[in-house]
Amino acid sequence: MRHVHGRARRAGAALAAVLTWAGLLAGAAGCDTDPTGVIGADGALGRAQDPEDVIRISPDDGSKEVRPGRALGVLVTDGRLESVRVVKSQDAQESPVPGRLSSDRRRWEPTEQLALAAKYTVDVVAVDGDGRRSARHTTFTTFVPAERFIGYVTPENRSTVGTGMIVSLAFSRKIDDRAAVERAVSVTAQPAVEIRPHWFGKDRLDFRPEQYWKPGTKVTVSLRLRDVEGARGVYGLQYRTVSFTVGRSQVSLVDAAKHTMQVRRDGALVATVPITAGAPKTTTYNGKMVVMDMLEVTRMNSRTVGFGGEYDIPDVPHAMQLTESGTFLHGNYWAPEAPGHTNVSHGCVGLRDVKGGASDTPAGWFFDRSLIGDVIEVVHSDDKKVAPDNGLGGWNMGWKQWKAGSADK
């Protein structure tokens, strides 16, 4: 779902360092429809508890400048914790946070203190007394010492990504001397290709080539930000390198009018899959979108994306995030006749699936063959083109305009 504009993995004993993420993430912006009117109400699925009432996470979602002495903790008020996964992103490197689960499986706490200048991502799944699963997904950032700034890098270090991946740096502070910061960041590729930067505001810097990456390309991102003055009296903290590899090319074309998606590998058509797109009043963006995240199961709540209480689906399978504003491509089990025939969603792209997800459904088949960084292009939808800064939407900008977004003229 979308229309709010503004960016899955080792079960263990009580002392295990990190529990494996089961793939059920919560709080993710999402969208879809419920033609029967029973989702999120007393009906076929019953009334689920609000995950925020079942799972308590501290610090609060979206907290900034969290001090190292503040406690990070997870608590369930009813039932038990099924999985907890906490990831720390610091100096362009990601690492799991070790933790301890209480004997009654109701509490989790880390076994290390919060780090400075880091972003934390918390994914929790709990099962209540009636056997219902709930999930939450929260993030927060910790205190950055005075007069310092850092950049959070997408994609992950040592990852293999799709051909449409855009390198994106999100800075912890507003950058006034964007040219100086831009000169301190280099993105190179083997085989070599021209790669150019583009600023979105004062806190985001993206890099891409003119065309999609060639499969097999190895990309290196070098941050030489330490002591670079990004704003008056504010200096960079990092001196790090991130690298990733471009996998096979997969570009899929969603035709909202024909209710189909053509999946192409290395230019060859491998499948045509029936889809359902946004309904007439909640249409899907046109344009090129890049897979930003992949979730085996997630909750989609209309209130998180600017709608009323139209839907609250706790177990949407095979969800692939396409925009920061909440557009997803995901499995749809509640409107099985819609894909291939009619558009019924709140802006997402839905593929036929079953409750709980399955690998032999269209949604499961596509999910199992996708990578973060793959391209999904939507055409013939009665909506505008997705904004270049909504997710990794920079491919919707012409090369000349993209290059004009460099601050280091």
Give me the active site residues, please.
330, 348
Residue given tokens 């004062």 in the structure block? 202
Q: Which two tokens stand for residue 358?
A: 């399955």
Of 275, 171, 147, the C-alpha closest to 223 is 171
SS3 70: coil
Indicate the DSSP class of residue 328: E
- CA dihedral 62→65→68→73, nearest 10 degrees, is -10
Q: What are the strands of the beta sheet with 119-127, ordered from one edge? A: 93-96, 80-90, 119-127, 133-141
Among residues 310, 363, 359, 367, the alpha carbon closest in space to that of 338 is found at 363
- Supply the DSSP string of 141-172, one letter for each residue: EBPPPTTEE-EEEES-TTEEE-TT--EEEEES
In the chain, the largest separation of any two C-alpha atoms, in whole Å, equals: 62
Pull the structure tokens for residue 68.
């190292």
180: left (phi over 0), alpha (psi -120 to 50) or beta: alpha
| Residue whose C-alpha is closest to residue 407's, from 238, 243, 171 | 171
Sheet containing strand 218-224, edge to edge, reads 159-161, 239-246, 218-224, 185-190
Whole-angstrom Cα distance, residue 140 to residue 170?
Answer: 14
Distances (CA, A) of 142 to 27, 82, 150, 169: 20, 26, 12, 17
CA dist 405 and 306 (Å) reads 30
**Euclidean distance between CA atoms 257 and 399, whole angstroms:** 28
**159-161 and 239-246 strand pairing:** parallel
